[in-house]
């Protein structure tokens, strides 16, 4: 009881997953989705444009091409991912696209890359944010940066365990502060040089022609491509909406598309605008400062708002909002990562526990794993943003390339009139060429600088997933064989229902999806206790997991399937003249729901003994116990504490 009270104080009161108003209150409208899911993309403008501009070296005039290319690329990828939202309105994004359109194993690679992507989203955003904050503090703070990163990740874990919307509402002022401050600086910075804008294009073309005369057009193209790929981190986060469509308010597809428009406009304007500011204001690297910091310092000073102290305060406010947005972006990893894990759990690539919701209706296991993995990567890399960016960009563009290739295949196979398939095929193909090109350049240029680590991590995760899926497949086949053995059990001649008598001895069976498992328990009890029990009750507690809670009509379908299974057991007993009835419950924790229903049954039927089956593996170890929820043992312990008798019947598989 005391532990439950502490949990309630930290995480909040439990929510009822069956109430429609709960689902509605937690769903995100486009604006909140832009804040919660778009922060990842927008925050990349804190480091993506700088990487691009630095790669140009002394040929900064090429920045104009980069500004245009950056804005165009954002819209190409965003429009292509709008198709993902249309085709997969229940979410899943890159993982679902690759699985359905390319194949399950390419889906696995995409899913593993997405998991790493979201872990790195947390790690790099927190590390960059702490670096920004550390720049305002004395040098003596530097050794404590890693501990500060641990603190902020812990804080985000608690916020997300409390529930999605609460986390976003807290982070909303930071997001809006970043948008407003950077909008003002970009607009002022461009208009302050309005007199130079008409000659910018002719002078850039002239300088480019002059450069080509010295190194050749191939050299110019190579320089542009290298700078373009170096800034690949700018486009990260655009996939977040398609991965989390199930979190959006109805109508989800429309809400998702509006959110993508918000994201594309804000990122294209901010990232392209910052590169243009570098060009117009002659940005030069300053030791200990980012290009954003040095450029914004010059712009603020030119505004003439006050003395040096006022200018410094304004700069601190701008950079503080930038650091704050990076923390908001880190939160995106806690939204997207558990969603991908849940979708992969539905396909048995990862433990099924990642589908389960907590009392606050969030995927608690996924949130904890993402947080712990981010901490591990931060410790392993020492919080080095340079190394994290390499890992990050490769994992992101691997997912982009696979997803867009899947769209190309889809429109090649579905060339129907009225679907504008040619236009969509061309858009998908263009996006694929861009993303595959950036991925190839990054792998070649950055392989020795950390690219090998990305490949190794993704391969290791994929190998583990294949092992897990093989185990689940073998277990499913074994359970199916048990169902087949008991499928031939004949029904009796009786057609009239027999109502249970509360005063008689009662056998209560806790059953699941397997009819064979339930019949195994029933026949075992009849054989071991002949003519002892007069009532036979069947209890099924269904877990409202991530897919059931988020999918359209999924709860109703789950209820219908459960009722059909229970009806089978009751009809079987009635056909043999045995009194029988059934009970069905729904909750986020099957053990809690089973305990609640069994306590109510024991009050109505005081002479009750509870039975359930448990899978017994020939080679049982900690890993198989991790993959299966051990609900039977947990329920037995809870019922024994309540003074109720429960017997677990072994079922070897």
Q: Please report which confidence band the pLDDT of residue 109 belongs to, taking 50, 70 and 90 as the band edges.
A: very high
- To which H or E segment does residue 538 belong? strand 535-543
Taking the CB of residue 453, how many other CB atoms lie within 10 A of it? Answer: 18
Full strand arrangement of the beta sheet holding 608-616: 579-587, 535-543, 506-510, 608-616, 646-652
Residue that wins the pLDDT comparison between 615 and 402 = 402
What confidence score (pLDDT) does residue 360 get?
46
Rounded to whole angstroms, how far apart are CA atoms 519 and 528?
14
Residue 240 β-bridge partners? none
Alpha-carbon distances of 32 from 166, 171, 176, 419, 644, rounded to whole Å: 11, 10, 11, 31, 47
**Mean pLDDT lowest for which of 60-69, 180-189, 463-472?**
60-69
Residue that wins the pLDDT comparison between 652 and 261 = 261
For 136-160, the pLDDT digits (tens) are 666 666 677 778 888 888 888 887 7
Nearest CA among 308, 331, 376 for reference residue 166: 331
What confidence score (pLDDT) does residue 246 get?
67
Rounded to whole angstroms, how far apart are CA atoms 95 and 99?
6
Residue 652 β-bridge partners? 616
HSE value, Cβ hemisphere, 13 Å, CA-based, for 614? 19
Taking the CB of residue 576, how many other CB atoms lie within 10 A of it? Answer: 15
For 290-300, the pLDDT digits (tens) are 778 888 888 88
**210-217 contacts: CB < 8 A, separation 24 or more?**
211/59
Nearest CA among 285, 271, 204 for reference residue 237: 271
Select the highest-mean-pLDDT range: 57-66, 93-102, 349-358, 456-465: 456-465
Rounded to whole angstroms, how far apart are CA atoms 116 and 109?
11
What confidence score (pLDDT) does residue 140 get?
64
Nearest CA among 179, 160, 149, 165 for reference residue 42: 179
Q: Please report which confidence band the pLDDT of residue 557 belongs to, taking 50, 70 and 90 as the band edges.
A: confident
Average pLDDT over residues 187-197: 83
What confidence score (pLDDT) does residue 511 get?
85
Residue that wins the pLDDT comparison between 172 and 266 = 266
Looking at the chain, the whole-number percentage of residues with pLDDT higher than 70 is: 82
Average pLDDT over residues 301-307: 80
Q: Please report which confidence band the pLDDT of residue 548 belongs to, taking 50, 70 and 90 as the band edges.
A: very low
Select the highest-mean-pLDDT range: 105-109, 167-171, 321-325: 105-109
Residue that wins the pLDDT comparison between 53 and 28 = 53
For 110-128, the pLDDT digits (tens) are 889 888 888 888 888 888 7
Q: Please report which confidence band the pLDDT of residue 418 belongs to, taking 50, 70 and 90 as the band edges.
A: low
Q: Please report which confidence band the pLDDT of residue 18 belongs to, taking 50, 70 and 90 as the band edges.
A: very low
What confidence score (pLDDT) does residue 537 get?
93
Select the highest-mean-pLDDT range: 233-242, 245-254, 325-334: 325-334
pLDDT beyond 60 at 167: no
């Amino acid at each position: 009881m005391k532990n439950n009270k502490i949990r309630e104080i930290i995480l909040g009161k439990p929510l009822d997953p069956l109430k429609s108003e709960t689902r509605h209150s937690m769903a995100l409208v486009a604006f909140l989705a832009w804040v919660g899911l778009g922060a990842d993309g927008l925050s990349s403008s804190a480091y993506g444009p700088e990487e691009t501009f630095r790669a140009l070296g002394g040929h900064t005039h090429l920045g104009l091409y980069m500004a245009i290319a950056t804005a165009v690329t954002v819209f190409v990828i965003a429009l292509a991912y709008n198709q993902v939202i249309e085709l997969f309105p229940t979410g899943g994004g890159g993982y679902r696209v690759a699985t359905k359109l390319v194949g399950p194993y390419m889906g696995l690679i995409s899913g593993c890359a997405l998991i790493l992507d979201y872990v790195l989203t947390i790690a790099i955003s927190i590390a960059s944010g702490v670096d920004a904050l550390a720049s305002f503090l004395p040098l003596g703070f530097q050794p404590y940066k890693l501990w500060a990163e641990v603190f902020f990740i812990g804080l985000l874990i608690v916020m997300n365990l409390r529930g999605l919307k609460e986390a976003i509402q807290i982070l909303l002022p930071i997001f809006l502060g970043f948008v407003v401050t950077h909008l003002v600086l970009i607009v002022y910075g461009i208009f302050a040089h309005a007199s130079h804008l008409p000659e910018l294009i002719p002078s850039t073309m002239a300088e480019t022609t002059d450069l080509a005369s010295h190194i050749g057009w191939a050299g110019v193209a190579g320089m542009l491509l290298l700078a373009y790929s170096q800034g690949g981190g700018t486009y990260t986060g655009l996939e977040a909406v398609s991965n989390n469509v199930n979190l959006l308010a109805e109508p989800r597809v429309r809400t998702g598309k509006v959110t993508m428009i918000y994201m594309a406009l804000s990122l294209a304007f901010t990232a392209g605008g910052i590169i243009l500011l570098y060009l117009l204001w002659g940005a030069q690297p300053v030791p200990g400062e980012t290009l954003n910091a040095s450029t914004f310092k010059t712009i603020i000073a030119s505004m003439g708002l006050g003395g040096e102290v006022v200018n410094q305060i304004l700069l601190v406010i701008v950079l503080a909002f930038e650091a704050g947005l990076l923390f908001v972006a880190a939160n995106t990893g806690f939204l997207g990562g558990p969603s991908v894990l849940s979708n992969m759990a539905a396909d048995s690539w990862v433990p099924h526990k990642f589908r389960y919701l907590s009392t606050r209706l969030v995927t608690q296991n996924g949130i904890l794993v993402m947080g712990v993995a981010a901490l591990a990567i931060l410790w392993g890399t020492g919080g080095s943003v340079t190394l994290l960016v390499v890992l990050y960009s490769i994992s992101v563009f691997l997912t982009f390339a696979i997803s867009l290739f899947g769209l190309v295949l889809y429109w090649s196979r579905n060339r129907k009139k009225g679907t504008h398939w040619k236009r969509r095929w061309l858009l998908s193909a263009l996006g694929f060429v861009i993303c595959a090109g950036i991925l190839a350049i990054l792998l070649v240029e950055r392989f020795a600088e950390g690219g090998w680590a990305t490949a190794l991590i993704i391969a290791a995760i994929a190998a583990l997933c294949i092992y897990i899926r093989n185990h689940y497949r073998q277990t499913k086949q074994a359970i199916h064989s048990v169902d087949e053995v008991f499928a031939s059990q004949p029904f009796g001649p009786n057609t009239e229902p027999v109502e249970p008598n509360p005063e008689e001895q009662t056998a209560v069976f806790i059953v699941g999806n397997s009819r064979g498992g339930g019949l195994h328990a029933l026949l075992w009890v009849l054989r071991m206790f002949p003519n002892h029990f007069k009532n036979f009750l069947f209890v099924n507690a269904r877990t409202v997991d991530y897919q059931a809670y988020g999918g359209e009509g999924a709860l109703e379908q789950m209820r219908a399937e459960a009722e059909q299974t229970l009806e089978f057991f009751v009809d079987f007993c009635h056909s043999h003249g045995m009194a029988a009835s059934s009970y069905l419950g729904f909750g986020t924790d099957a053990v809690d729901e089973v305990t609640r229903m069994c306590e109510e049954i024991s009050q109505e039927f005081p002479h009750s003994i509870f039975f359930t089956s448990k899978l017994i593996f020939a080679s049982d170890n900690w890993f198989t116990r991790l993959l299966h929820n051990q609900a039977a043992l947990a329920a037995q312990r809870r019922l024994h504490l309540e003074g109720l008798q429960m017997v677990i019947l072994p079922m070897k598989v």
